[in-house]
């Protein structure tokens, strides 16, 4: 049994502490917006915030996430209002298949918290998620839109 605090709510989950956080979030807590893409922290589809830091949840053990504030895509909106990154994503029609985009949005939201007006170089350095559809041009444009929103 492990107590995970996700989107402000404590969940007691009955898992081996060595389970990757990704699978505890998806299967034990039931929040499926966080995606499995590679399982080796390469693609970023499983990105969540742990104590505010964008983190690939497939590479974090449940035991290491206990006692920390975990935010998933389902917890990004506040009081029913979408986060400015989510809004920019809708307004700029960023997602194609969308599968990687929840992770992408979580990575971008963390970037904007750290650097509210990121340069292209900041984006290049911070955003390393894989998108096989190839939305990068729209992602970059929407990051700037969100930063200026």
Q: How far is the CB of 11 from other proteins (least distance, A)?
A: 15
In the block, residue with structure tokens 């209002």: 81
> 13 is written with which tokens?
């989950």
For every residue of 41-97, DSSP letters joined together read: SSS-TTEEEETTEEEEGGGSBHHHHTTSEEE-GGGSSBTTBPPHHHHHHHHTT--SS
Restricted to residues 38-57, the positions that interact with other proteins (CB under 8 A) are: 38-40, 42-43, 45
Question: Least distance in Å: CB of 132 to other proteins?
Answer: 5
- Establish if 114 lies at the interface with other proteins (CB under 8 A): no
Interface with other proteins: number of residues (CB under 8 A): 58
Nearest to 20 by CA among 70, 91, 84: 70
Q: Are 107 and 126 in contact (CB under 8 A)?
A: yes
Stretch that binds other proteins, among 49-57, 63-71, 92-100, 110-118 (CB under 8 A): 92-100
86 is a contact residue toward other proteins (CB under 8 A): yes
Sheet holding 69-71, edge to edge: 9-13, 2-6, 69-71, 47-50, 53-56
**Among residues 2, 6, 35, 110, which is the contact residue for other proteins, using CB under 8 A?**
35
Confirm if 122 and 115 have CB atoms less than 8 A apart.
yes
Stretch that binds other proteins, among 49-57, 63-71, 101-109, 111-119 (CB under 8 A): 101-109
Residue numbers 120-139 binding other proteins by CB under 8 A: 123-125, 127-139
Q: Which residues bind other proteins (CB under 8 A)?
A: 15-16, 19-20, 23, 27-28, 30-40, 42-43, 45, 72-74, 76-77, 82, 86, 89-90, 93-102, 105, 123-125, 127-140
């Amino acid at each position: 049994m492990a107590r995970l605090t996700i989107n402000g709510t404590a969940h007691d989950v009955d898992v081996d502490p060595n389970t990757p956080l990704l699978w505890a979030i998806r299967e034990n807590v039931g929040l499926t917006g966080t995606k499995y893409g590679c399982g080796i922290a390469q693609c970023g589809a499983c990105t969540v915030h742990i104590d505010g830091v964008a983190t690939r949840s497939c590479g974090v053990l449940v035991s290491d996430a206990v006692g920390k504030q975990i935010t998933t895509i389902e917890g990004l909106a506040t009081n029913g209002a979408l986060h400015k990154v989510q809004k920019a994503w809708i307004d700029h029609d960023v997602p194609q298949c969308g599968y990687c985009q929840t992770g992408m949005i979580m990575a971008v939201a963390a970037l904007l918290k750290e650097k509210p007006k990121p340069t292209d170089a900041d984006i290049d350095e911070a955003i390393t998620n894989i998108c096989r559809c190839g939305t990068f041009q729209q992602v970059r444009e929407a990051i700037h839109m969100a930063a200026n929103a």
